[in-house]
Amino acid sequence: MSAVPESPAGWRLTPQRRRALILAVLVGVLAFWHIAVTAFGVSHLIFPGPAAVAKAVYDLFATGEIWPHLWVTLYEILMGFAVGALAGFVLGALIGQSALLEAVLYPYVVAFQTVPKVAIAPLFVLWFGFDTTSKVVITATIVFFPVLANTIVGLRSAPRDQIDLMKAFTASTWHVFRMVRLPHALPYVFAGLDIGIVLAVIGAIVGEFVGAQAGLGYLILQRNFSMDAGGMFAILIVLSVIGIVLHAVMKMIARRVIFWADAFADIARGG
């Protein structure tokens, strides 16, 4: 069975072709960026060219300035993701199996989610301080809802006939959850985790913008105050790489845990 997409004309997007296309797009964007900045004579203080940004990235790592801030931000991202994902999964598992809990709790969860996290971030800093704790809490609140919503939808996707069959054989609620509901919910849960791990990067930076003494968001603010646009671009590139790596790791874990989902996808494609 093959997981390689195929167009109606028969052209197959192999991994090698996919990487070549990604590289071609990157080269094209960098070339357009360089030509546009050079042709219009844009000041590097406003919009630096790719060469200036590359030099800023090199300087960040060559001087070692980035490392203590990078570890702080990574801790906030991973810890906030872990707390938010766990809370979202547990509450989602409870709501997904109880219509009463959904009717009572879910409206309040949605109401809390609609509040902009940027607006309440200063309150978290006030309550939890300027250290990493407030950043972890902010990150957790952003990760929480995607995992919660996907868990609920996943648990509700379990086939009713399988649940009724388990109950007919006197299976307990726990056994129904573990053997029927959870396996069907896992693809949805991992979709929520995939969204959450990317949003965790945003949450950590939002927290650092509000108030921090270290972190990549703190470095961005420093570069902003000194009007170092190249340095700001360099840090944004580092954050993008972090997001891409975390997304790839989550995809890899998902393929190992819910391997049957890939198999069913291959069958559906006729692989």
CB atoms within 10 A of CB 235: 25
Question: Which amino acid makes up residue 31?
Answer: A
Query: d(Cα 205, Cα 196) in Å, to the nearest integer?
Result: 14
Maximum mean pLDDT: which of 98-102, 221-225, 242-246: 242-246
At 43-79, the pLDDT tens digits run 777 788 888 888 888 888 988 888 999 999 999 999 9
What pLDDT score was predicted for residue 261? 66
Query: d(Cα 146, Cα 201) in Å, to the nearest integer?
Result: 14
What is the model's pTM?
0.84
Instruction: Note the CATH number of domain 45-261.
Output: 1.10.3720.10
Q: In 3D, which of 197, 189, 172 has the Cα closest to residue 92?
A: 189
| Domain boundaries of the chain, sorted by first residue | 1-41, 45-261
